[in-house]
Amino acid sequence: MSLKRVLSLRTVVSTSAGLTFSTACFVAAAQVASYLAGDAAWLAILVAGVLTLLTAAVFSELNGMFPSAAGLRLYLSKAFGEKFSQVVSLLYMLVITLVVGTETYVLGHVLNYAIPAISPLIWVVVMLVVATAMNLRGVNIAGAFQDFFTYGLVASLVIFAVVAFGRTGIHLQAPLATNGLGGLFNAVAVGVFLFVGFEWVTPLAEEVTQGNVIPRGMFLAVGLLTVVYALFTMAMTATVPGALRQTLLASPTPHLVFGEAVLGRTGVWWMTLTSLAASVTTFNAGLITISRFMYASAREAVLPKWFSQVNVRFATPQNAIISLFFVGLAVSAAVFFSGRYLTLVLMGSAMESIIYAVGAWAVLTLRRRLPDQERPFRAAGGNLLPAAAVIVFGVLALGVMLQNLWVPVLLGLAALACYLYVLYAVPRLKALQAAERDAARQARAARRRPVSTEAAAAADAPTD
């Protein structure tokens, strides 16, 4: 038997890489560079990329064991139980919502840089309205469109970096100066943000026919991202004049400062269009993933039933999408008035490191609990690789939290809120759903179609 539609390796790579691209990544890349003394950002990005490959191996093993669109939610449930899985999934989605809010804020500044007459706040509202409308209408960038956006972005960033080096020549200053181990550590910890979401490709596991396409796609995507980000960041910091470098590193729109320095207004528009393409994939993937997560959670009675309301015309979870619009607007406004966009970028980095560490821990747990389960992909090196991933990403998460104390405070409060919600609210929602189901089941029992007596007898007969 064969399915009508299957995804190719090319599309799996473009989806995995495309999910990580965002305008906030340019801020993170500049932040990486700011921790290092010279033009050594490539080194930190390379290390972050190699470490992310550990995670690609971890998620490949989990995906092979449970090839399901439920992804992380299912892996954690199998390894640690329902409650833990619910708390971590809710927390992860909450942080991703904050990152989407940050993305809107940064994109608002990008558009304001290109068209100064319109305030960033207006752009924020416009972008959120457009993203919400797209999601309500069920527009989903996938397949060939995803290929176009991702490979177009890769080409744009590589070509621009080459143009920048072509104009100034390659004059790297201290390309190995890491500002000590502390500087490199901090840069790598933030560098993890550049790869946020590459593993979200695992829900496509049911759309491929060969089991190894997803793992291969993830490895290739991480490799591609490492090269592209390293090249672009190096060009960004090495080709701008010294005085402008500090402005660039402290700006919410570093790539526009870079674009202007290299090609003037043409560079600004080049980077603005690149940003828009990067944000489109973030809004698309982020909002669709979160709204569907909310919908599925409501169907499981983890969130109130209201969130499972479906739009009949466009077949989309309308209440979940509209709620996200207001949450996104609130986050963007909070970031706009507080100016703390870096805090949310760091929260995203810390959360991603936590997810990577927990995923690796799940691999270790499942190897012990389900030793005979089929594993089409097994992370090499026995337990050494997942154990190393737990330690490395655990330490990186701590490192990010120490850079900005708001990060552990906000993450801690969010985790506590999710835990209390799962402990007290979810059982009530489940009880309510069970009561409704019982009543409906009794009503339907009478409606169940009678089956032939021979078939019923055969089913009831004892087997040898």
Residues that bind another protein (CB under 8 A): 1-5, 66, 68-70, 73-74, 77-78, 140, 142, 203-204, 206-207, 292, 295-296, 299-300, 308, 310, 312-313, 315, 317, 436-437, 440-441, 444, 447-452, 455-456, 458-459
Closer of 171 and 448 to another protein (Cβ): 448
Give least dist CB 210 to another protein, A.
13
Give least dist CB 461 to another protein, A.
11
Closer of 189 and 288 to another protein (Cβ): 288
Give least dist CB 427 to another protein, A.
16
8 A C-beta contact, residue 302 and residue 429: yes
8 A C-beta contact, residue 255 and residue 270: no
Separation between Cα atoms, residue 406 and residue 415, nearest integer Å: 14
Separation between Cα atoms, residue 148 and residue 134, nearest integer Å: 18
Give least dist CB 450 to another protein, A.
8
Closer of 262 and 296 to another protein (Cβ): 296
Closer of 138 and 152 to another protein (Cβ): 138
Give least dist CB 207 to another protein, A.
5
Q: What are the C-alpha distances in Å from 369 to residues 79, 297, 365, 372, 379?
A: 8, 26, 6, 9, 17
Give least dist CB 46 to another protein, A.
33
Give least dist CB 458 to another protein, A.
7
Under DSSP, is residue 331 helix (H, G, I), strand (E, B) or coil? helix
Closer of 167 and 441 to another protein (Cβ): 441
Q: What are the C-alpha distances in Å from 147 to residues 8, 49, 297?
A: 11, 21, 30
Closer of 407 and 422 to another protein (Cβ): 422
Give least dist CB 455 to another protein, A.
4
Closer of 53 and 142 to another protein (Cβ): 142
Separation between Cα atoms, residue 146 and residue 47, nearest integer Å: 27
Closer of 2 and 424 to another protein (Cβ): 2
Q: Other C-beta atoms within 10 Å of 369: how many?
A: 11
Separation between Cα atoms, residue 65 and residue 272, nearest integer Å: 41
Q: Other C-beta atoms within 10 Å of 115: how many?
A: 10
Q: Other C-beta atoms within 10 Å of 451: how many?
A: 9
Token digits for 366? 């499942």
Under DSSP, is residue 311 helix (H, G, I), strand (E, B) or coil? strand
